[in-house]
Amino acid sequence: MKKKVWKNMILTSMVCCSLLHASRIESEIGIDIGMVATKNSDGSKFKNPTLGLSYQNNTYVLMPRFDLEYVSIKGDKAKSLVKASINGIYELENKTNFLPYLLGGVGYESVQGGVENVFESHPFIQAGGGLKFILENDFKINLEGKMLQVVGGEDEANEVILTAGVRLPLSYKEVKATPPPPIMVRTVVHPSPQIIQVMSPAVKPEPIIEPEPVVKPAPKVMYINNNECSIKIDLPDLDRDGIEDRIDQCPATPCNFTVDAYGCPVKATLKINFATNSSIIEYNSMYKVDNFAKFLLNNKGSIVKIVGHTDNVGTDSNNLALSNRRANAVMQALIMKGVSPARLRAEGKGESVPLTSNESIEGRAMNRRIEAELTYPRGRR
C-alpha cells in the first residue's frame, strides 16, 4: 500500500514538471519532503516521513493553495495518513530573493490502519509559515513549518510538520526581452514646451513637425509635480490627496494619482519614457519605477494593472504590440523591485485611447504613456 501511494505521487509530479514554461508565473506546483511529529505533549519527535504535492494560484493577494500529503507512520497505532487541504498563502514582499509567507487552512486527514477512538480519521485546521528562495526562471526552494490540530476527535491530537521542497512555475505570461539598440539624442526646441525626441538609427523615427513661427498656447497640463502636491482641502491632509487624514486608508499617495473615497489611489499616468519604437525603460525613468514600487510595497492591498498606450504613428497592430511590450517592461521592473507578481497585470491598448489630439508633437508625446490602474479586493483596504 505504501509503495503504491509513493509511486503514484512521484509519477504525478513528473507529469506536472513536463508541462512547465519559464516566465512570469500565474500558478505553480510544489513538491515537498519532510518529517512529522504526531506526539508533541512531551516534546516533538520527528520520526514520520512525509511527501507532499501542492498547486498554488498566484493571481490573488491571498493566494489559494491545494495540498495533498502522504505520511508514513512509525509505531503509533496507525500505518499511514493521507491528508488533503486548502490553504491561504500571504507573501510578505521585500526587495531580496527571500520571500517569507504565512499560511492557514483546513483539510481532512484519512488514517490508514488506525485504532478506533485513539487514532482515526478527522477534519483539521492548520497554520504556519515558510520561506522561499527565488532562483532563476521563477524556480524556488521552499522551507515550511506548520502546526495541525485535529477537530472533532474524543482525544484531539495535534501534529507538527517540517518540510523542504521546490516550487515550479506552471502557467505563465510570456515576456520577451529585446536588447537595447544604439541610440542618438536630438533636441528640438519649441516655443512651449521643450521636447526631446530620442531616436534609434535601427528603426524609422516618428516624423517631426516643425512649428510655424507663431506663438502657440501652452499645451494641456498632464502631470502634477510629485515633489510638492497642491493643497486641496483645509482639513488635516498630510499627503494632500484631498482626503482627510482620519479617513485616509492609503497614506503617502503620490501627487499624480486620483484617489477614491478612502484616499486610496485608483489611477495615474506614470512619467516613464521609452526610446522611439522601443520597450526598454530609459535610465532617467528608473527612479520613477523605484518610487512607484516603494509605494506599492508600503500599500499592499491593491491589485495593479499596468496599461501601455501609443500615439497614432505606425500601424494599429504594431502600436498594439509595442504598447504590450512597454507595459510588460514596467511590470517586470516592478517585480525586480520586490512587488509580488500576484498583484500585477500588464495590458496594451495601442493608439485606441488617446488623451488628446495626435495632430501635434505635444499631443503625440502626451498620448505615448504608461498608466497604472489600482483596484482593491473586498476586505483588503
332: CATH: 3.30.1330.60
Is residue 208 in some structural domain? Answer: no
User: Do 275 and 365 lie in a common domain?
Assistant: yes
Instruction: Please give the DSSP secondary-structure letter assigned to residue 342.
Output: G
**Nearest to residue 121, comparing CAs of 148, 152, 147, 146?**
152
Distance CA 165, CA 5 (A): 19
User: Do 158 and 19 lie in a common domain?
Assistant: yes
SS3 (DSSP) at 374: strand
Residues 6+ apart with CB under 8 A from 140: 28, 99, 132, 133, 134, 166, 167
User: Do 258 and 142 lie in a common domain?
Assistant: no
pLDDT, averaged per 10 consecutive residues of the chain (381 residues), comes to: 49 41 66 90 85 88 91 82 94 77 94 76 93 81 94 78 92 47 43 44 55 41 45 82 82 78 82 80 86 84 88 90 92 90 90 89 86 73 45
148 sits in which H/E element = strand 140-150
Domain boundary pick from 141, 173, 205: 173
Other CB atoms closer than 10 Å to residue 234's CB: what's the count?
Answer: 7
Is residue 83 in some structural domain? Answer: yes
Is residue 224 in some structural domain? Answer: no
Is residue 245 in some structural domain? Answer: no
User: Do 23 and 169 lie in a common domain?
Assistant: yes
Domain boundary pick from 173, 191, 222: 173
Task: Answer whether 81's CB lies under 8 Å from 119's CB.
Answer: no
- The pLDDT, as a whole number, for residue 224 is 32
151: CATH: 2.40.160.20
Strands 369-375 and 265-270: antiparallel
Its pTM stands at: 0.49
Number of structural domains found in the chain: 2
Is residue 212 in some structural domain? Answer: no
- The pLDDT, as a whole number, for residue 180 is 41
Which amino acid belongs to residue 317?
S
- The pLDDT, as a whole number, for residue 214 is 43
User: Do 20 and 148 lie in a common domain?
Assistant: yes
pLDDT in tens, 52-68: 999 998 877 788 999 99
User: Do 161 and 13 lie in a common domain?
Assistant: yes
Domain boundary pick from 173, 202, 225: 173
Is residue 241 in some structural domain? Answer: no
User: Do 126 and 271 lie in a common domain?
Assistant: no
User: Do 272 and 145 lie in a common domain?
Assistant: no
User: Do 283 and 167 lie in a common domain?
Assistant: no
User: Do 265 and 353 lie in a common domain?
Assistant: yes
SS3 (DSSP) at 6: helix
- The pLDDT, as a whole number, for residue 204 is 54
Task: Answer whether 132's CB lies under 8 Å from 142's CB.
Answer: yes
Is residue 331 in some structural domain? Answer: yes
- The pLDDT, as a whole number, for residue 55 is 95
Q: Which residues of 99-114 are buried (b: 16+ CB within 10 A; e: fewer)?
A: bebebebebebebbeb
Strands 303-309 and 344-348: parallel
77 sits in which H/E element = none
Is residue 237 in some structural domain? Answer: no
User: Hunting for cell 493643497 — which residue is that?
Assistant: 231
- The pLDDT, as a whole number, for residue 323 is 92
User: Do 262 and 163 lie in a common domain?
Assistant: no
Q: What's the angle, vertex CA 83, arms to CA 21 and CA 16, rounded to 5?
A: 15
Residues of the domain holding 294: 253-381
